[in-house]
């Protein structure tokens, strides 16, 4: 085990030859309330200076050698009534995705066991629904999935659309670690992407999840046609939550034939990197998840994202409906760059919500707790 010296970034431009002064790390610095203009100033920093500053913040709050490996399974595909313009699972669009029923329990457990054997410590399950209304039997099956996967000693995440407070409570009692509900983009640009669910409805679900004691996973998608100001707006929005989200997924749009955004250009790499670095500075203790579109990045590009503060990836056979980098490739890449996978419940904020007492040298860096392996 080793210790880092906590160093704080300057508010202004930072040169690579100047180290920032050391400051103590506490809850206030983790959950600072940022003004939107401040975040815009951070985002507009010259890119290499921005990455340097983000790397310094990353080392304050995380072990920079650790990457969380997550595996995502689509447990109910297609047929969704929402009109998310990026999604091939909407019933409103003619896409290659075929609708299917909720899968049975055993295929999910087999996928979770395979993921664990390959080094994944978080198993995520996604269902293409607007909400769980009228799905009592399906929800009961999902609760059993959560209980069984949690019993394997893995972190468990679901994304099931909108939740009521009671549904969130039941998921927590079943052992759910985290719930994913992305805001997707800024409040201002959001109506250009989705009209069937309001921004505030998304925030209401996040509130229900947080109040139930479940870790919040909420981020966005780049390449929807948004501006730099919208990317800043997304980061600002999550920074205003009562607690910063446990994780912030950064997705690069994968244009899918048949969706309204099928003709969108692939997001530029420098935009992706700038967004990751800005999110790391504004959300210092949050896990930054390099999500959809990562398979299109060259290895050095991924390494720069890790340098800028990304510290989780989705790995395995595929995402929900888009390609994913396989386990063997990811583990070989991590070995070449001196990176290692996180253990389950290693992030201190997750451990606290799970009832463990983290004993750490640096917050969110190394957890010593009695958890199932």
Two tokens, residue 337: 């760059």
- Residue 213 located in a structural domain: yes
Among 70, 217, 305, 324, which one carries the catalytic annotation?
Answer: 217
Annotated binding site for [4Fe-4S] cluster: 80, 84, 87
- Residue 372 located in a structural domain: no
Portion of the chain with pLDDT greater than 90, in percent = 70
Over residues 245-300, the pLDDT tens digits come to 999 999 999 999 999 999 999 999 999 999 999 999 999 999 999 998 898 999 99
Among 30, 231, 289, 294, which one carries the catalytic annotation?
Answer: 289
What's the rounded Cα separation, in Å, for the pair 90 and 82? 6
- Residue 181 located in a structural domain: yes
Over residues 28-72, the pLDDT tens digits come to 456 778 999 999 999 999 999 999 999 999 999 999 999 999 999
Active site residue 352: no
Active site residue 70: no
- Residue 115 located in a structural domain: yes
Q: Which domain holds residue 341?
A: 58-353
- Residue 77 located in a structural domain: yes
pLDDT exceeds 50 at position 316: yes
Residue 217 sits in a domain whose CATH number is 3.20.20.70
Total domain count for the chain? 1
pLDDT exceeds 80 at position 337: yes
What's the rounded Cα separation, in Å, for the pair 301 and 294? 9
Active site residue 289: yes
- What is the residue-averaged pLDDT of the chain? 87
Across 76-95, average pLDDT: 85
- Residue 16 located in a structural domain: no
Please, which residues have CB within 8 angstroms of residue 27's CB and are 6 or more apart in sequence?
none
pLDDT at 373: 37
Active site residue 157: yes
Active site residue 324: no
What confidence tier does 6 reach under pLDDT thresholds 50, 70, 90? very low
| DSSP secondary structure of 25-80 | --HHHHT----HHHHHHHHTS-HHHHHHHHHHHHHHHS-TTEEEEEEEEEEE-S-B
What H or E segment, with its residue span, contains residue 180? Answer: strand 178-180
- Residue 163 located in a structural domain: yes
pLDDT at 88: 83
Over residues 153-175, the pLDDT tens digits come to 999 999 999 999 999 999 999 99
pLDDT at 97: 80
**C-alpha distances out from residue 173 to 27, 147, 150, 246, 355, Å:** 27, 9, 11, 19, 13
- Residue 22 located in a structural domain: no
């Amino acid at each position: 085990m080793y210790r880092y010296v906590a160093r704080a970034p300057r508010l202004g431009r930072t040169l690579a030859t100047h180290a920032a002064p050391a400051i103590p790390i506490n809850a206030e610095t983790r959950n600072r309330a940022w003004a939107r203009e401040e975040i815009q100033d951070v985002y507009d920093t010259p890119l290499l200076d921005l990455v340097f500053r983000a790397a310094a913040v990353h080392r304050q709050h995380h072990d920079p050698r650790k990457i969380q490996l997550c595996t995502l399974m689509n447990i109910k595909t297609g047929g969704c009534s929402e009109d998310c313009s990026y999604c091939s699972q909407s019933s409103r669009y003619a896409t290659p995705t075929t609708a299917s029923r909720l899968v049975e329990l055993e295929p999910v457990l087999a996928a979770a066991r395979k993921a664990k054997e390959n080094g994944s410590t978080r198993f995520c399950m996604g269902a293409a629904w607007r909400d769980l209304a009228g799905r009592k039997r399906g929800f009961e099956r999902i609760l059993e999935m959560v209980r069984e996967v949690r019993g394997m000693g893995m972190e468990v995440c679901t994304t099931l659309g909108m939740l009521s407070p009671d549904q969130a409570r039941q998921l927590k009692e079943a052992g759910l670690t985290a719930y994913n509900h992305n805001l997707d983009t800024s409040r201002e640009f959001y109506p250009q992407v989705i009209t069937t669910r309001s921004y505030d409805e998304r925030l209401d679900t996040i509130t229900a999840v947080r109040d139930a004691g479940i870790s919040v996973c909420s981020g966005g998608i780049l390449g929807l046609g948004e501006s730099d100001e919208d990317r800043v707006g997304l980061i600002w929005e999550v920074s205003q939550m009562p607690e910063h989200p446990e994780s912030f997924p950064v997705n690069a749009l994968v244009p899918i034939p048949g969706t309204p955004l099928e003709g969108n250009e692939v997001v530029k790499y420098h935009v992706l990197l700038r967004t990751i670095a800005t999110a790391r500075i504004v959300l210092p203790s949050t896990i930054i998840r390099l999500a959809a579109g990562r398979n299109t990045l060259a290895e050095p590009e991924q390494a720069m994202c890790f340098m800028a503060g990304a510290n989780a990836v989705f790995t395995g056979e595929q995402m929900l409906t888009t390609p994913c980098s396989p386990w063997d490739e990811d583990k070989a890449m991590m070995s070449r760059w001196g990176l290692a996978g996180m253990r389950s419940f290693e992030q201190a904020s997750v451990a606290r919500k799970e009832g463990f007492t983290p004993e750490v040298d640096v917050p969110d860096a190394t957890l010593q707790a009695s958890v199932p392996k």
